[in-house]
Amino acid sequence: MNHAVAPQAMNSLVIRSNNRISTLMLTALGLGGILLVALGSVLIGDRGITMDFSARMLAPSWQHWFGTDQFGHDMLARTLHGLSLSLNVGLITAALSTAIAVVLAMLAATGGRWADAVVSFLIDTTLGLPHLMLLILIAFALGGGTTAVIIAVTLTHWPRLTRILRAEILQVRSAEYVQASRQFGKSWWYIGRHHLLPHLLPQTLVGFTLLFPHAILHEAALTFLGFGLEPGKPAIGTLLADSMRYLMAGNWWLGLFPGLGLLLLVLSFDAIGNGTRKLTDPRLSEV
């Protein structure tokens, strides 16, 4: 009996090890893609911002890998600048949304019935509204631009993470060490800082990472529709919106490469988020 069980245990260990290695590889690839975008935008400097009318509408070549646009901008440089701008906006909005989610989840779990009811009402109300429509209304009301996009995305991306963190805190509240701390006379504020917040760190990190692709895609969508970043900035949404006027004329590279770059950036963050979730959750790391 023991001899039959041993190979099965070995196979299980090998499968877990292979899954962990593949998860680490995907996470590393995602990080590598993001670092490549960040370093590339720094290394190219002002290239792609200045106009060169002698190189208008050139197809992809060894000199211009992604071709050029109607103003002679190098599309590779423009795409890297746009992805870097999306990274900056995504970082700010994801950080702010995560902070809002943590604060509201803690308030709901430690502030009593009324606080929990108010937070639940805010979550249900925000999730019940059409997401893109709410983004457009907020951005339009604030007059558009980078600040308006950051505020709009921040105010619409916290509810799901808040709901997850609130459920996690409510589970931890019934733990024996929390109840023991409560019986020793510790306040909920003390328990929240010393017991609940450390427990939320893995979920918060994963939530922060997974908020990135949503923030980037919605920033690009707002900019594409004309409610986002300023037209003068080389944002991906601006590049895609400008390309629509020239795609029918056969200038396919104007929309293909910025769109492909945005897709790869989103997939990179998705790989990092899923990898972090599997590595921090022991139940998923065994799958």
Residues 39-93: tens digit of each pLDDT: 666 666 666 667 777 778 888 888 888 888 888 888 888 888 888 888 888 889 9
Q: Are 103 and 197 in contact (CB under 8 A)?
A: no
Q: Taking each helix axis from N to C terminus, what angle separates 159-173 and 75-110, rounded to the nearest 10 degrees?
A: 40
Indicate which CATH number applies to the domain containing 111.
Answer: 1.10.3720.10
User: Cα separation of 63 and 44, whole Å?
Assistant: 14
Does 70 reside within a domain? no
Between 51 and 149, whose confidence is greater?
149
User: What average pLDDT does this structure show over 134-147?
Assistant: 87
Residue 142 lies in a domain: yes
CA–CA distance from 44 to each of 37, 47, 62, 110, 282 (Å)?
Answer: 11, 6, 16, 50, 42
Whether residue 57 lies inside any domain: the answer is: no
pLDDT of residue 142: 87
Per residue in 180-216, pLDDT (tens digit) is: 766 666 666 666 666 677 778 888 888 888 888 888 8
Q: How many domains does the chain have?
A: 1
164 within some domain: yes
100 pLDDT band (50/70/90 cuts)?
very high
Three-state DSSP class for residue 70: coil
pLDDT of residue 88: 85
At 54 the pLDDT is 76
Cβ count within 10 A of residue 246: 16
| DSSP assigned state of 196 | I
Q: Under DSSP, is residue 73 helix (H, G, I), strand (E, B) or coil?
A: coil
Hey, what are 231's tokens? 């037209």
| 61 inside domain | no
> Comparing 136 with 228, which gets the higher pLDDT?
136
Instruction: Quote the pTM value.
Output: 0.78
In a domain, 101, yes or no: yes
DSSP alpha helix (H) spans, the chain: 2-44, 75-110, 113-128, 131-141, 146-156, 159-173, 176-183, 188-191, 197-225, 236-243, 253-280, 282-285
Query: Which residue carries 């409560």 as its tokens?
Result: 182
Domain that holds residue 24: 2-46+75-285
Note whether residue 279 is domain-resident: yes
Q: Which residues contact 209 (CB under 8 A, 6 or more apart)?
A: 94, 269, 272, 273, 276
**Alpha carbon distance 94, 178 (integer Å):** 30
139: in domain: yes
Instruction: Give the span between the Cα atoms of 105 and 100, in whole angstroms.
Output: 8
